[in-house]
Amino acid sequence: MSLTSGAMVTSGIDPSADWSRDERHGELLGPQETGNEALRQSARMAKFHVPEVLFGPGSLTELGHCALRLGGRRPFLVTDPGLIEAGWVDEAVGHLRRVGLRPVVWHDVTPNPKDHEVEAGFQRYAASGCDVIVGVGGGSVIDAAKGVAILSSNGGRILDYEGVDRVGRPIPPTVMVPSTSGTGADVSQFAVITDTAEHIKITIVSRTLVPEISVIDPRLLTTMPGWLNAATGLDALTHAIEAFVSRAHNPLTDIHALHAVELITRNLVHTHVRPKDFAARLAMAQAALEAGMAFTNAILGATHAMSHQVGGLLDAPHGVVNGVLLPHVIRFNAETRPQRFVALGAAAGIATEGVPPREVAARLADLVRALTDDVGVPTGLAGLGVAESDVPVLARTTLKDACMATNPREVDVRDVEALFRQAL
């Protein structure tokens, strides 16, 4: 499979090949996919649910027409103070008003959106008589916007919807405008909300949460602070790697996951040391999109399940926690099924020919750790405030996270405790 930054290719099954079935994993193996070079193609029905996407510099100008096409008259624009200060909210409001819409702006969202913030946002939405919901911001803003949308048509408390397919009624139309290059929230069926009483993050997974339209304007990435650029870039890398090795991967998700890995490993450091390098910004915007399209359909794994718990406990930057945990989870998962890491290693620029799959996985883990060093991420969770005494509780709550269901290796509480301790 050949990937280049300038083109995307699709993978398919050669009907003339001599295929056999791996009964244990339910996959077809071709004659070229043998031994340590195996790259399994899923024989399951593939799901690939994504929004309409507008991508490219200046695409924010289309925001008003997007909301209008969805029946908007009074859009509810969710954002945060940083986006207001950067000037993007004024521009977005101008584009909405230009087509005759009357937007209401709500900006009381903090990083790792809280349950009470979402419920306050819903009260403002309901009192304002709004219709279409527009999110302009990073993953926290977009998750909060999704939370408001859930409550507007389903009622109750946002924490009631934890888990998979708990959102029973359709939500209002949504348009999302990401301002970071990593969370994938603008194309995903996920919303992650902090339970402030229990100090954990809950994961809500529902196809209703996939936005109708994602407007990706790379200009917005240029005002990210450096720490957020690093955090969201590492989040996107984790999305891509976990989606590729997920139990629910398929050929439609694989191609985007691999291309995202290639783009991120080539461009993240460039955006960190040369923030005005627009070509690198454009590449990272595409990487975040492709990683998002991959993980929303293939789901994730242990890294995210663990990261959510740390984020709920400490209100720590999600992508930074992912960056610390990911090398340890790669090594753990590769102990039982290392073959999937060969293609990932190749996408990241690692020489793989003649190299045992476990060694490729180990080199990939080392590459991820080096990348996190380059963008200034702490070497361990202790640097973020996690203590040894936190590990038992973090491990228990990790096993309840929806992302754990698709981790490629079976995991028990002792495994998770060991991974947390390795990452301290």
How would you classify the pairing of strands 200-205 and 190-195?
A: antiparallel
Instruction: Pinpoint the alpha helices (H) of 246-356.
Output: 251-273, 278-298, 302-314, 318-334, 340-347
Q: CA gyration radius for the chain?
A: 21
183 and 101 inside one domain: yes
CA 130 → CA 96, 103, 209, distances in Å? 13, 8, 18
Sign of torsion over alpha carbons 273, 277, 279, 281: positive
Q: Determine the structural domain holding residue 349 and report its residue range.
A: 224-423
For residue 42, what pLDDT is reported? 44
Is 37 within the bounds of a domain? no
213: CATH: 3.40.50.1970
198 and 312 inside one domain: no
242 and 326 inside one domain: yes
Q: Whole-model pTM?
A: 0.89
For residue 44, what pLDDT is reported? 64
List strand residue ranges (DSSP E) for 79-199, in order: 104-106, 133-137, 163-164, 174-178, 190-195
212 and 230 inside one domain: no
For residue 46, what pLDDT is reported? 80
The angle subtended at Cα 205 by Cα 419 and Cα 239, nearest 5°, is: 50
- The parts of the chain modelled with pLDDT lower than 50 are 1-39, 41-42
Last residue of a domain, one of 173, 195, 220: 220
Contact, 321 vs 384, CB < 8 A?
yes
160 and 71 inside one domain: yes
Both tokens of 383, joined, read 């640097």
- The answer for 58, left when phi > 0, alpha when psi is -120 to 50, beta otherwise, is left
389 and 278 inside one domain: yes
Last residue of a domain, one of 220, 255, 273: 220
229 and 81 inside one domain: no
Q: Which helix (H) or strand (E) holds 115?
A: helix 115-128
Is 324 within the bounds of a domain? yes
Both tokens of 359, joined, read 């060694």
Q: Give every CB contact of residue 79 below 8 A, 6+ residues apart in sequence.
A: 88, 89, 92, 105, 106, 107, 109, 135, 136, 137, 141
Is 34 within the bounds of a domain? no
245 and 191 inside one domain: no
State how many domains the chain has: 2
| Residue 396: count of CB within 10 angstroms of its CB | 13
230 and 347 inside one domain: yes
**Is 325 in a helix, a strand, or coil?**
helix
Both tokens of 267, joined, read 């461009």
Angle between helices 318-334 and 357-374 (to 10 degrees): 160
Q: Residue 413 and residue 424: Cα distance in Å, rounded?
A: 17
Is 4 within the bounds of a domain? no
Question: Residue 298's closest CA among 211, 215, 408, 212?
Answer: 408
Q: Residue 170 and residue 153: Cα distance in Å, rounded?
A: 7
Q: Residue 58 and residue 163: Cα distance in Å, rounded?
A: 36
For residue 47, what pLDDT is reported? 77
279: CATH: 1.20.1090.10
Is 2 within the bounds of a domain? no
Residues making up the chain, counted from first to last: 424
| Greatest Cα-to-Cα distance within the chain, rounded to the nearest angstrom | 64
Sign of torsion over alpha carbons 50, 51, 56, 60: negative
Class of residue 99 by CB neighbours under 10 A (exposed 0-12, middle 13-18, buried 19+): middle
Last residue of a domain, one of 220, 253, 276: 220
Look-up: residue for tokens 């476990």? 358
Q: Residue 95 and residue 274: Cα distance in Å, rounded?
A: 30
275 and 370 inside one domain: yes
Is 92 within the bounds of a domain? yes
For residue 51, what pLDDT is reported? 97
Is 18 within the bounds of a domain? no
212 and 234 inside one domain: no
User: pLDDT by residue (tens digit) across 7-27?
Assistant: 332 333 333 333 333 433 334
281 and 167 inside one domain: no
Is 170 within the bounds of a domain? yes
